[in-house]
Structure formats: C-alpha cells, structure tokens
Amino acid sequence: MIARPPAGTPRTYRFPDFVRHQLPSGLGVWLVPLAERELVSVHLVTDAGAATEDEAQAGIAALTAQLLVTGTERLDAATFAETTERLGISVGSESTWDSARAGFTALGSKLDDGLALLAEMILTPRLDAGEFERLKGERLNDILQARADPGRLAEESFLREVYAPDVPYGRLAAGVPESVRALDVASARAFHDAHYAPGVAHLVIAGAIDPDVALAAAERHLADWSGAGTGHRTFEPRQRGGRRVVLVNRPGSVQSELRVGHVGIDRHHPAYVPALVMAALLGGVFGSRLNRRLREELGYTYGARCTFDPRRAAGPFTASAAVQTEVTVDAIRELLGQLERIRSEPPDEAELAAVRDFLVGVFPLRFETTPGIAAAIEPLAVYGLPDDYWQTYRSRLEAVTVDDVLAAARDLVRPDDALILVTGDASRVRDELAAADLGPLEVVPAA
C-alpha cells in the first residue's frame, strides 16, 4: 500500500468583499456580490429578538416574527403564501435572543419581486388576530411536544436550573406556556411597532447581484420605512447556586440525557477565539477529548460534545451526551473528569494543531453557499464586529497557543460550579445518583 500522500499547494481564499451603506432611515445595507452564482439571499436582520421583550411577554418576539409571514394588509395569509411560493420564494421569519431575521433565498432574477414582498411584509404586515391565535396555539403545543423529547426537555430544564431565577436566559427564547398564554395580537402589534424599525435593522443581500441595482431596489422598496427602534435590554446573567445535581424524571427512558455546565461567555469576551479553540478540542470535533473517551473508548453514547453559546450577554457552556441508563453515573464522572483534565493538562502541540488547522482550514467550506455567506454578515451587523472580521479571523485562530488554551480552560471551564442535569428514569438512576457524591441531588418532574 502506498503511504499517506503529501498535500498539494493550497489556493488562497478570501472571504468575499462586501460594501456597506446606510440609508437615511438608518437601515444598514450590506451588499455581497458573488460571481458566477444563480441565487440571491436576502436577510433582513432586526434588533427584535427575545432580548428586546418584557419578561411578562416572554415569547412575543418569536411569535411576532412568525406572524409576519401570515400576510400583509393587501394580501391575506393564503394569498401571500401563494404569491411568494409561485415565484419560487419561501419566505422565512424567525428570531433568536439577539435578533430577528426575515428573508429568503431565490433565483437571482427574483430579487426585485422578492424584496418588494419582503418589504411589504415588514412595513405593512397583516398581524391578523385569527392567525395570531393559531400560531400561539401551535407554539403552546410545540412546547408540550418539546417536553416529551428527551433532548429538548434536557435543554429547557438545563437553562431553567443553571441561571438565577430572574435571568431571562433561564428560559427558551420562545417563552414558557405561562407567558405565551397571556399574549394577544395587540401585544404583537405593539412589539412590531416598537422593534421593527430601520434604525435597528440591517439588510444583507448576497449572491447574483449587481450592487447598484440591489441598492436601488432596497432604497425603492424600503423608502417608506422609518423609526429608530427601541432596542434590546441589557442584563447580567448570574448562575443559580454552585455544584448540584438535578434529575428531571422521565419515566421509561432508556437513556439519560446529560447536560453538565454553567454560565459561559458573551460574544465580546476577550478570550472568545481561544475559547472556540478550547471547546473544539474538548468537545467540538470527532476526535475531541469528550467524544474520544465517551464514545470511541467506552461506547457509552452515540456522541459527546461541548459548546459555548455566546450571545450579547453570557450564554451557557454545556457538555452533553445521551448515555444508556445503566452507565449514567459513570458517564457523569467521565464528563467531569474531562472538564478537570482540560484545566490541568494542556494539549500538546499536535493536539492543538489538529483542532486549529481544522478551524482555519474549514473556513472556505463554511461559506460555500449563498445563504451561508449572507448569514456570515449577520454577526458583523448584530454585534458591531469590524468590517475586516472575517479577513483577520484565520490569523487570530492561528495565533492561539497551548498557553492560551490552558488559560481559557482555567478561566472558563468550572466543573466545581457545574450544574449536572440528568433527564432520565428516576426509578432507575435516583439511588445511584444520590450515593455518588456528585453534589446535592434534587429530583423534579418533567416540566
């Protein structure tokens, strides 16, 4: 057999150049022309995510985003759906904590038609009471469905238990049944009035465009849009207590869904880049320490991983795995052991290089598609990152050293403070968890 072949000569790759404008209304317009493409992606990103809503109305941002696609003053829900889809355009509209995004990807020839309909939807949405009640019902049902799914139940439970009770991040961005039930179409109309405004919005158009034509189309279709927008709240995410174990009882489960972690970092954290590298090494690639140990050595799980979820404020850091019920306690010890080890045992150069080379090398692949490039502009707009952010991204990754990884781990991974959340069959794991000396145990029913 022939030995491993050497690599060829790499071709250079640059993140596509873009131009940025600001319309008199305050709307940011980002144009990313891409040569030899068929498609255009339009993303309208607005500071209308869950961080802008009152806690008493938790879920209104998500519902309002969804409600937008149910028609305009001119076109009812059925007609709007038919009109867009007959053009080959599926309009999407959804929100996260930090922003709401409405948009579509279509053949380049449909840019003007699509932008006209998107603008109509944002400026003069129908916000129909009947459609609102339907979507609200669907949302409540979805929360019920999510709680029957072990992974989604673990996710919701982890957030609730890891954040202090008054921190908004302690719930899903979509809200909780108690808050969603209280919402009505008037709250959606008020939310739309307050938060869908060009002063807090950015329009990204990427793909098969002539930038001058695209800019003119944006100006023409969005000329009547005005308003400064209210913007988002700020808050300080605090953790609820230190090391403890919460068992969410899901009778009949044949696996335990494990979530081990604590409050993590925000998007502007100075160690953001080393943290990315450290998290990839610990639980972000196939050969990461967590996956290698729990899957490839022990066979406890189909996959083990960890992630930060950086937002405007500190999102969670979570190590996770779904393990067969019989090994629940052992698997927790193994997870914790890897969280300890990353703090005490620095990677050797080869281990670090493999992960760093992955993150650097996979860069062009991340931006292969037109909607992928449009999405890459969003964090620049939402978090105010510098225009050359992607141009300098790889050199910032390459600069990360073994010492940086160790420092990030010691600062940002805190197993002694970790919440250990288990979603599983209490009748089979409660006693063992109580005897395991992992921290005080609390057993709660599935929400």
Partner 1 sequence: MPQLPIERHRLDNGLRVILSRDPRAPLVAVNLWYDVGSRHEKPGKTGFAHLFEHMMFQGSANVEKGEHFSLVQAAGGSLNASTWLDRTNYFETLPGHELELAIWLEADRMASLLPAMTQEKLDNQREVVKNERRSSVDNQPYGDWDERIQALVYPDGHPYHHSTIGSMEDLEAASLDDVRDFFATWYAPNNAVLTIAGDFETDAALAMAHRHFGPIRANPSLPPPPDMTVDAIIGRGVRDTSADRVPLTRIYLAHRIPPFGTDAFDALDVGADILGSGRASRLYAGLVREQRLAQDASVFVFPIVGGASMLALWVTARPGVTAETLEAATLAEIDRLATNGPTDSDLERVRNLHAAHAAGSLERISERADRLSMYACLFDEPERINSEVARYAAVDAARVAAALRASAREDNRVTLTYVPAEAAS
Binding mask 224-263 for partner 1 (x = CB under 8 A): ----------------------------xxxx--------
# chain residues binding partner 1, by CB under 8 A? 79
Q: Which is nearer to partner 1, 51 or 62 (CB)?
A: 62
Beta bridge partners of 30: 20, 204
Under the binding rule (CB under 8 A), the answer on residue 444 touching partner 1 is no
Q: How far is the CB of 323 from partner 1 (least distance, A)?
A: 7
Q: Which H/E stretch holds residue 201?
A: strand 201-207
**CB-based contact 169:55 (threshold 8 Å):** no
- For the bound state, the minimum distance from the C-beta of residue 202 to partner 1, rounded and expressed in Å, comes to 22
In the complex, minimum distance from the CB of residue 249 to partner 1, in angstroms, rounded to a whole number:
12
Please give the structure tokens belonging to residue 49.
């995510």
CB atoms within 10 A of CB 444: 14
Site for partner 1 in 25-54 (CB under 8 A): 35-39
Output the DSSP codes for 270-292.
TTHHHHHHHHHHHHTSTTSHHHI
Look-up of token digits 């193994």: 334
Going edge to edge, which strands form the sheet with 100-107?
Answer: 19-22, 28-33, 201-207, 39-46, 100-107, 92-95
Write out the two tokens for 247: 């068992």
Residue 11 contacts partner 1 per CB under 8 A? yes
Pattern 154-193, binding to partner 1, x per CB under 8 A? ----------------------------------------
Q: Which is nearer to partner 1, 29 or 91 (CB)?
A: 91
Q: Rank residues 181 and 220 by Cβ distance to partner 1 and give the closer one.
A: 181
Candidate residues 43, 101, 147, 221; the one interacting with partner 1 per rule CB under 8 A: 147
Q: Which of 334, 339, 303 is nearest to 151 (CA)?
A: 303
Under the binding rule (CB under 8 A), the answer on residue 106 touching partner 1 is yes
Q: Indicate whether 445 belongs to the interface with partner 1 (CB under 8 A).
A: no
CA–CA gap between residue 159 and residue 239 (Å, rounded)? 10
Q: Do residues 317 and 418 make contact, with C-beta atoms less than 8 angstroms apart? A: no
Span interacting with partner 1, options 52-60, 78-86, 161-169, 341-349, rule CB under 8 A: 78-86
C-alpha 383 chain-centroid distance:
14
145 touching partner 1, by CB under 8 A = yes
Q: Which is nearer to partner 1, 95 or 105 (CB)?
A: 105
Collapsing DSSP states into helix, strand and coil, what is residue 351? helix
Task: Tell the smallest beta-carbon distance from residue 117 to partner 1 (Å).
Answer: 13
- Determine if 5 is a binding residue for partner 1 (CB under 8 A): yes
Q: Does 77 bind partner 1 (CB under 8 A)?
A: yes
User: Hey, which residues between 382 and 421 contact partner 1 (CB under 8 A)?
Assistant: none
Site for partner 1 in 112-141 (CB under 8 A): 131, 134, 137-138, 141
- Binding to partner 1 in span 311-370, by CB under 8 A: 322-324, 353-355, 357-358, 360-365, 368-370
Question: Quick check: 48 and 196 in contact, CB under 8 A?
Answer: yes
Is 16 an interacting residue with respect to partner 1 (CB under 8 A)? no
Q: Look at residue 156 and give its three-state secondary structure.
A: helix
Q: Kindly identify the residues of this chain, within the stretch 260-299, that bind partner 1 according to CB under 8 A.
A: 285-287, 292, 295-299
Measured from the CB atom, the residue of 29 and 290 that comes closer to partner 1 is: 290
Helix axes 328-344, 402-412, angle to 10 degrees: 130
- Distance from C-alpha of 140 to C-alpha of 174, rounded to nearest angstrom: 10
Residue entry with tokens 């998500």 = 62
* Binding residues for partner 1 restricted to 80-99, rule: CB under 8 A: 81-82, 85-90
Give the bridge partners for 210, in sequence order. none
Q: How far apart are CA 139 and CA 59, in angstroms?
A: 9
